[in-house]
Amino acid sequence: MKLYLESDLAFDPATAWEIFESSEYADRLEDATDMSVELLEERMEGDVKVRKLRYRSKRELPRMVAKALGSKNLTYEQVNRFDRNRSELTWQVFLPVVADRVTVEGTTRISEAPGGAKRVVDGDIEVRVRLVGGQIEKVVAGEFERSMGRAVDLAKEIYAERNA
């Protein structure tokens, strides 16, 4: 299943990344999305900032999906690789129980555009679990779309507050 979201921002790419990578943004996103976030590791690999995060949804999963994942709530780890020079963040998601049967990965790019910047989140999810694979894909895709849409709204709010 394809994961794709394009958003226009009324500020330049450098400002966008500064907001998206800020602790203020992370704290407010957690409050806005019903997802708790825990930083597990952060390191530099040359010019690339690598962060490993654990996400936990506060919403309960549908019963069949919860049974397949062994948890009532969606929990996953994500590794982000942020390359400021390329204006690009690559990400890979790992579900703890069925990691060998689930692939979730993609790239977030922010580029200059008329009036500011364009943010493109482009990824894929594949769940190879009989009977419930499609349902798991829909749940993860739904969480993704909600959090990515809210992420852009929140970045715009922060920008507006800073420039009021």
Encoding tokens for residue 159? 């920008």
- Chain segment 5-55, per-residue pLDDT in tens: 999 999 999 999 999 999 898 888 888 777 788 899 999 999 999 999 988
pLDDT level of residue 69 (50, 70, 90 thresholds): low
pTM of the model: 0.83
Give the count of beta carbons closer than 10 Å to the beta carbon of residue 151: 22
Distance CA 116, CA 111 (A): 9
Q: Which helix (H) or strand (E) holds 41?
A: strand 35-45
Pick the more confident residue, 42 or 131: 42
Distance CA 66, CA 83 (A): 35
What integer is the mean pLDDT of 138-163?
Answer: 84
What integer is the mean pLDDT of 67-72?
Answer: 68
Distance CA 8, CA 129 (A): 36
> Given the DSSP bridges, would you call strands 2-9 and 116-127 parallel, antiparallel or unpaired?
antiparallel
- Chain segment 81-110, per-residue pLDDT in tens: 999 999 999 999 887 776 677 788 999 999
Query: Percentage of the chain surpassing pLDDT 90?
Result: 45
